[in-house]
Amino acid sequence: MSRRRLLVLLKPGNVYPSRCSDGVSRVTNPRVLGYLENRCEVHMDAIKSCQDILRRKAVDWEPVLRSDLVQPIRNVDLVVTIGGDGTLLQASHFMDDSIPVLGVNSDPTQVSEVKDFSDEFDATRSTGYLCAATAENFEQVLDDILEGQRVPCKLARISICVNRQLLSTYALNDVLIAHPCPATVSWFSFRVKDDGKLCYPLVNCRSSGLRVCTAAGSTAAMLSGGGFTMPISSEELQFMVREPISPGPAKSKMHGFIKSDQSMLIPWYSKEGMIYVDGSHLTHSIQHGDIIEISSKAPILKVFLPSHLISE
């Protein structure tokens, strides 16, 4: 039996900078400074621990910083991300539906720490919502995967077309269509269609944008904006118009769902706009007259999920 090939994607160790390049700290609260420095230490210790475990396994593996990932991921049997949900999201943008991914939360929140610092600052660490492992249980989770005791879940992603041209990146969490300055009012319309048939009325909007999320992304910005948490296995998409201005009778149509056999057409009427994919790091410019089409007709992503999500 051939050895398994793994790509290990790493979040850099300097993402919580407590000091500037001149070595001088701009943080005046020593407890905040200690907290930031500890986050870096915990993250780097997690990387070292996971790499030590991999060296003991009968696998071939290669570590890559997430900032150095520029090509589609090919010719590996498993992707392991060490960081948080952001690192897993970044990996997903370079993956099709043939390779599963395991997320390792390298810096999980410490409940006692949050309580201790609650009167001074928010000491919440990485959420790791999609991460099935931490440094503590990584070896057991990895062994279960290599022995076939765990199977990945299939998560829906969002397909985005602009003027009938498919974008190369699929969204795992959400898509925001807005002005380059998202606080600016934008003009656009949308309608949901069934299997290519325009059988729903056109809804005209003036707002700060339109957000569409997957089930995996429904616990993030969508939930904060008043949306609903969806079962993780759902193939539907949820949409919400952000801050609609005088929606009138169309108010009830500003929030809804796009079924797996449906898509949404969005004519864009503002001079300029931006499609934000899974946050602010991946963007695509749009302009007046462009038509965006959103659907869940995208390759799924295979993810090893935490047990509590699988049982929901």
What is the pLDDT at residue 65? 97
Confidence of residue 28 (pLDDT cuts 50, 70, 90): confident
Is the pLDDT at 254 greater than 70? The verdict is yes
Each residue's pLDDT tens digit, 100-110: 999 999 999 99
For residue 87, give the H/E element and its range.
helix 85-92
For residue 280, give the H/E element and its range.
none
List CB contacts of 54: < 8 A, sequence separation 6 or more.
6, 8, 61, 142
Give 217: exposed, middle or buried? Use CB within 10 Å, 0-12, 13-18, 19+: buried
Each residue's pLDDT tens digit, 196-226: 677 788 999 999 999 999 999 999 999 999 9
Is the pLDDT at 24 greater than 70? The verdict is no
The pTM score is 0.92
Average pLDDT, the chain: 93
What is the pLDDT at residue 19? 55
What is the pLDDT at residue 14? 76
What is the pLDDT at residue 25? 59
Each residue's pLDDT tens digit, 110-156: 999 999 999 999 999 999 999 999 999 999 999 999 999 999 999 99
